[in-house]
């Protein structure tokens, strides 16, 4: 029975992840269109039913599946094929550490709404996210094309300058909520500050959040920081890919957006916590309570998590369609000279405040 529960959880998490990824491609096109006073992709139809372009991701998928699977004759066949799968795998596996909600009590069992409850969940997610760079370096290397290699190297350089700031900015969070288990971090955020303000990470670690968000944006390799890829003019690491393999790189980008949104939600915006909602319903700080059955509480938690994640996805797409690309040296400057000192400052400041409050 336990086996089946785990299996169902894995399937549910993956389906959630892939469907959200698929529709994020649609959302990106539509959101950019609305920002630029356009309409966006709305022609894909099934029997004349257009549904504001909701079938567009399927049309894209069909197109990519039926394209030629081309491997350049000068490329290394094995590594060239392996690279997109590596980059896809390392992102797809991170979703299993994300807490979607508290426990669900059903039929005398309590099921944790998280695929894999790791003690070091935060470290696991960070490790897997940074392993994803191997797919990029490998694709640049195995294509045996100088420009893709340069793209891969740019990706690696960018990753090194941001991974440090990303890790350091999260140390503040680990200090405030003394745990690396993502579920614990979310539990701690359920308490209230001064009795009425939700104890969310962004209120305790505002500087940490800014540094984390900037570094995480660089991690997704999208527009203000899209040096490895540079789809409009400089040539990126997946130049020699086409069809479904290219699609996997593109999907990896969108999956990284979702993972970054999940992380931002879990660490800084209370995860699945709804303000003032406990395990039995709302307890308002001005007195009074609104008790809810268990199923509704779990539903609210899932909804809260999803709404927060979708909001951050929206924010990242907005950022992608607002800013021009950073130059290479500006990017390095931002990483090494601004974000890392700021994150160190954040650690010292957090330590001092915690020491005084003790």
Partner 1 sequence: MIEALGYFIEILKGALITARHFIVNMVFHILKVIGIKTKRKGAVTIQYPEQRKELARRHRSLHRLTKREDGKPRCVSCMLCVTVCPSECITVEASEDPDPEIQKVPAKFIIDLSRCCFCGFCVEACPEDAIRMDTNIIEASEYARGDLYYDLSKLLK
Q: Per CB under 8 A, does 33 bind partner 1?
A: yes
Distance CA 285, CA 276 (A): 7
Nearest to 213 by CA among 339, 54, 318: 339
DSSP 129-184: HHHTHHHHHHHHHHTT-HHHHHHHHHHHHHHHHHHHHHHHHHHHHHHHS--S-HHH
Site string for partner 1, 225-244 (x = CB under 8 A): --------------------
Phi, psi of 209 (to 5 degrees): -65, -45
How many CB atoms sit inside 10 A of residue 64's CB?
17
Size of the site for partner 1 (CB under 8 A): 14
Site string for partner 1, 331-350 (x = CB under 8 A): -------x------------
Cα dihedral 290/295/297/302 (nearest 10):
-150
DSSP 14-66: HHHHHHHHHHHHHHHHHHHHHHTT---S----BTTB-GGGTTHHHHHHHHHHT
Residue 19 CB partners (closer than 8 Å, separation 6+): none
Distance CA 66, CA 70 (A): 12
When the beta carbons of 8 and 39 are compared against partner 1, the nearer one is 39
Task: Work out how close the CB of 46 gets to partner 1 at its nearest, in angstroms, rounded to a whole number.
Answer: 19
When the beta carbons of 104 and 317 are compared against partner 1, the nearer one is 317
Q: Choose, by CB under 8 A, the member of 5, 318, 348, 352 that binds partner 1.
A: 318
Q: What is each CA distance from 167 to 31, 122, 211, 240, 346, in whole angstroms?
A: 31, 10, 10, 32, 12
Q: Per CB under 8 A, does 329 bind partner 1?
A: no
Q: Choose, by CB under 8 A, the member of 7, 322, 327, 341 that binds partner 1.
A: 322
Stretch that binds partner 1, among 76-84, 102-110, 133-141, 321-329 (CB under 8 A): 321-329
Sheet with 277-278, strands from edge to edge, namely 277-278, 281-283, 289-291
How many CB atoms sit inside 10 A of residue 288's CB?
8
Q: Choose, by CB under 8 A, the member of 6, 11, 35, 51 that binds partner 1.
A: 35
Task: Work out how close the CB of 217 gets to partner 1 at its nearest, in angstroms, rounded to a whole number.
Answer: 12
When the beta carbons of 56 and 148 are compared against partner 1, the nearer one is 56
Q: Per CB under 8 A, does 321 bind partner 1?
A: yes
Here the tokens at position 358 are 């003790």
Q: Per CB under 8 A, does 106 bind partner 1?
A: no
| Binding to partner 1, residues 36-95 (CB under 8 A) | 36-39
| Binding to partner 1, residues 285-314 (CB under 8 A) | none
Stretch that binds partner 1, among 12-20, 29-37, 76-84, 129-137 (CB under 8 A): 29-37
Q: Per CB under 8 A, does 323 bind partner 1?
A: yes
Task: Work out how close the CB of 33 gets to partner 1 at its nearest, in angstroms, rounded to a whole number.
Answer: 7
When the beta carbons of 169 and 189 are compared against partner 1, the nearer one is 169
Stretch that binds partner 1, among 118-126, 256-264, 267-275, 316-324 (CB under 8 A): 316-324
Q: Per CB under 8 A, does 110 bind partner 1?
A: no
* Binding residues for partner 1 (CB under 8 A): 31, 33-39, 318-319, 321-323, 338
């Amino acid at each position: 029975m336990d086996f089946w529960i785990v299996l169902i959880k894995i399937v549910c998490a993956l389906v959630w992840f892939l469907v959200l990824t698929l529709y994020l491609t649609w959302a990106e096109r539509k959101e950019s269109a609305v920002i630029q006073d356009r309409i966006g992709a709305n022609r894909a139809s099934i029997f004349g039913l257009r549904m504001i372009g909701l079938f567009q991701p399927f049309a894209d998928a069909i197109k990519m599946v039926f394209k030629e699977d081309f491997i350049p004759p000068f490329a290394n066949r094995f590594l060239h094929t392996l690279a997109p799968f590596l980059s896809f795998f390392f992102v797809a596996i991170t979703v299993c550490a994300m807490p979607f909600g508290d426990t669900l009590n059903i039929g005398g069992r309590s099921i944790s709404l998280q695929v894999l409850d790791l003690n070091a969940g935060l470290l696991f997610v960070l490790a897997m996210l940074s392993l994803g760079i191997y797919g990029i370096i490998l694709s640049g290397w195995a294509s045996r094309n100088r420009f893709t290699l340069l793209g891969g190297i740019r990706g690696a350089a960018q990753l090194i300058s941001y991974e440090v700031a990303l890790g350091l900015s999260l140390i503040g969070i680990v200090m405030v909520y003394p745990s690396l288990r993502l579920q614990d971090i979310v539990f701690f955020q359920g308490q209230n500050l001064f009795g009425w303000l939700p104890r969310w990470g962004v209120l305790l670690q505002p500087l940490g959040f800014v540094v984390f968000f900037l570094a995480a944006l660089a991690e997704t390799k999208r527009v203000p920081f899209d040096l490895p890829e540079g789809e409009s003019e400089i040539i990126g690491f997946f130049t020699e890919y086409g069809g479904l393999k290219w699609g996997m790189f593109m999907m990896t980008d969108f999956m990284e957006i979702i993972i970054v949104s999940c992380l931002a939600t879990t660490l800084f915006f209370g995860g699945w916590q709804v303000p003032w909602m406990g395990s039995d319903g709302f307890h308002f700080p001005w007195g009074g309570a609104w008790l809810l059955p268990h199923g509704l509480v779990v539903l609210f938690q899932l909804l809260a998590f999803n709404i927060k994640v979708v909001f951050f996805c929206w924010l990242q797409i907005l950022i992608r369609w607002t800013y021009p690309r950073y130059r290479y040296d500006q990017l390095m400057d931002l990483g090494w000279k601004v974000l890392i000192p700021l994150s160190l400052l954040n650690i010292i400041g957090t330590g001092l405040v915690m020491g005084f409050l003790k």
